[in-house]
Amino acid sequence: MSQLKGESILLLKVKPGEMHKAVNDLERSEEITEVDPVLGFYDIVASGAFDDSRDLTDFIEQVESKPFCQSCYARPSYESWKRRTKGDSLGQGWALIRSNMPSTTLRELKRLPNIQKLVLTSGDFNIVANFSVRGPGDWKRTVFDEIQGATGVKEMITMPRLFD
């Protein structure tokens, strides 16, 4: 059993037609701090505070037993960082990042004004980033120039957040 630090990340694939049920169910959970429907490989990115790996595993088992869940993947938090204030944004997104220099990558990403949250984790992608953008041109600059341009970034999956 490993102690976790900060907010761990959950990546969900939701059965067709079940998105509203999934979002509502996750938002009611006291462990979950943020639920974002997204476009891309996954349907929902959620973050939540779990004391240790056993608590996270137990929660994943609960989610996977729900009728709306097709699959749920955990990215346990070994280190996390969150910007204290959020600026105005017209869009947000999440990025799964594989870095061969995670400490350096994290340090560089923390300096970017559009980065809102960073989680150092394990697995194929060892950093999860939440970012905001102010307009269409900001997507290109933030994703392609800044995040992908950070030292050590080898691969990335970007998932724009869907707004209500």
- The residue segments making up the domain with residue 151 are 79-160
User: Do 71 and 117 share a domain, yes or no?
Assistant: no
| Domain identity same for 85 and 136 | yes
Q: Looking at the predicted structure, is the pLDDT value of residue 85 above 90?
A: no
Could you tell me the pLDDT band of residue 86, with boundaries at 50, 70 and 90? Answer: low
Does residue 152 sit in the same domain as residue 88?
yes
Residue 80 neighbours by CB distance under 10 Å: 20
How many domains is the chain built from?
2
Q: pLDDT at residue 164 above 70? A: no
Which class for 13: exposed (0-12), middle (13-18), buried (19 or more C-beta within 10 A)?
A: middle
- Interval 116-143: pLDDT, tens: 999 999 989 999 999 999 888 899 999 9
Q: Which segment of 22-36, 52-66, 71-85 scores lowest on mean pLDDT?
A: 71-85
Rg of the chain's alpha carbons, rounded to an integer? 15
- The whole-angstrom separation of Cα 32 and Cα 44 is 12
The answer to whether residues 92 and 155 belong to one domain is yes
Q: Please determine, for residue 163, whether its predicted confidence score (pLDDT) is greater than 90.
A: no
Domain match, 134 and 107 both: yes
CB within 8 A of 46, min separation 6: which ones?
A: 9, 10, 12, 26, 32, 34, 35, 36
**Inside any domain, residue 132:** yes
Cα separation, 84 vs 22, whole angstroms: 28
In a domain, residue 1? The reply is: no
Among residues 149, 147, 123, which one has the least CA distance to residue 133? 147
Mean pLDDT score, 90-94: 90
Q: What is the CATH number of the domain that holds 30?
A: 3.30.70.920
Are residue 156 and residue 86 in the same domain, yes or no? yes
pLDDT band at residue 87 using 50, 70 and 90 as cut-offs: low
Give per-residue pLDDT as tens, 10-36: 999 999 999 999 999 999 999 999 999
Please determine, for residue 3, whether its predicted confidence score (pLDDT) is greater than 80.
yes
The residue among 2 and 105 whose pLDDT is bigger is 105
3-class DSSP assignment, residue 11: strand
Query: Tokens 């490989």 identify what position?
Result: 41
Please give the distance of CA 12 from its chain centroid, rounded to a whole number: 11
In a domain, 2, yes or no: no
